[in-house]
Amino acid sequence: MSLRQDTRTGSVRRRTGGQLPLVLLLPALVGLAFLLVPLIGLLIKAPWSTLPSRLFSADIWQALRLSLLCATLATTVCLLLGIPLAWLLARASLPGRGLIRALVTVPLVLPPVVGGVALLLVLGRRGLIGERLDLWFGFSLPFTTAGVVVAEAFVAMPFLVISVEGALRAADPRYEEAAATLGAGRWLTFRRVTLPSIAPGVVAGAVLCWARALGEFGATITFAGNLPGRTTTMPLAVYLALETDPDVAVVLSLVLLLVSVVVLASLRERWISGLR
């Protein structure tokens, strides 16, 4: 009797190792479906018969090229400004750091359209800074490709800052001390010791940042408008096409989806998983 019980508990224990509790499994599957079904819908409703001819329309490639260019430039801007900002938040002893950190993350929760309006108020032709730029340099950001980059960087930067700051906090500052005892100044230490040690965090942040910039719509259309070839990125083109020719909107969405999945999947495997 006791022997049977023992064997039974033994086999139960063996099975529980690979079994997920139903309470978790069900919502997990629903969540997965929730994320995937719209994408599958996109595939089903795609105008497959006319797809090849539509794909080779110049408008799509123009918008795609502009999207990739702007997202990449915006990511570069975010890297150049965001890494030092993250360093400041993680390492410097500055007063009101909590408040600054909260402010940095505001663009995350702000509706992008509001961000666009704010950018217009500051950098627009009549804006606080924009007016000076126009007056002194004859240079105006709104409704230009540079404006798209600014709008995308504004919205995407928090992703980079949060990711890099987290990596900096997790990095062991004693390595920086070791570098200092070897005669390295703070800039050399940052370049040769700190930055390489947080590289996975920087890459993960840059990927998130790039993805956010690529899909940016609200701030872009508000601040940079919708000028084909100059400010019409893929999301804008999709929105525009939806009103005139929904089939084109589907094709544009598929292209954007494909590019995003390929880029994110290849980077995710190599870098984001390496973060852990």
Partner 1 sequence: MTLYADVRVSRGAFDLSLDLTVEPGEVVALLGPNGAGKTTALRAIAGLLPVGAGRVALDDEVWDEPPRVFRTPDRRPIGVVFQDYLLFDHLSALENVAFGLRARGVEKHAARAEALRWLGAVGLASYARSRPRALSGGQAQRVALVRALATSPSVLLLDEPLAALDASTTLHVRAELGQHLNRYEGRTLLVTHDPLDAMVLADRLVIVENGRIVQQGRPTDIARRPRTDYVAQLVGLNLYRGTATNTTVALTDGGTITLAEPASGPVHVAFPPTAVSLYPEPPTGSPRNTWPAVVTGIEQHAHTVRVRLDATPTGPTTLLADITPAAVADLHLTPGQHLHATLKATEIHTYPS
List contacts with partner 1 (CB under 8 A). Answer: 172, 174-175, 177-185, 188, 192-193, 196-197, 199
Nearer to partner 1 among residue 172 and residue 243 (C-beta): 172
- How buried is residue 160: exposed, middle or buried, by Cβ count under 10 Å (0-12/13-18/19+)? buried
What's the min distance (Å) between Cβ of 160 and partner 1? 21
C-beta of residue 93 within 8 angstroms of C-beta of residue 174: no
- Shortest spacing between CB 234 and partner 1, in angstroms: 37
CA-to-CA distance for 46 and 73, rounded, in angstroms?
Answer: 31
Cβ closer to partner 1: 73 or 171?
171
Closest to partner 1 by CB, 39 vs 178, is 178
* Contacts for 94 with CB less than 8 Å, ≥ 6 apart: 88, 100
Least CB distance to partner 1 at residue 207 (A) = 20
37 or 178, CB closer to partner 1? 178
Shortest Å, Cβ 175 to partner 1: 6
**88/184 with CB nearer partner 1:** 184
Q: Name the DSSP class of 274.
A: G
Geometric angle at alpha carbon 214, from 209 and 215, rounded to 5°: 105
Q: How far is the CB of 194 from partner 1 (least distance, A)?
A: 11
Q: Which is nearer to partner 1, 110 or 179 (CB)?
A: 179
- Going by the DSSP 8-state scheme, the letter that residue 191 receives in this structure is I
For 71-129, give the DSSP string: HHHHHHHHHHHHHHHHHHHHHS--TTHHHHHHHHTHHHHS-HHHHHHHHHHHHSTTSTT
Q: How far is the CB of 94 from partner 1 (least distance, A)?
A: 20
CB of 92 to partner 1, least distance (A): 16
CA distances from 210 to 67, 191, 206, 216, 238 (A): 10, 23, 6, 10, 19
Nearer to partner 1, 55 or 182 (CB): 182
Given a contact cutoff of 8 angstroms between Cβ atoms, the answer to whether 165 and 89 are in contact is yes
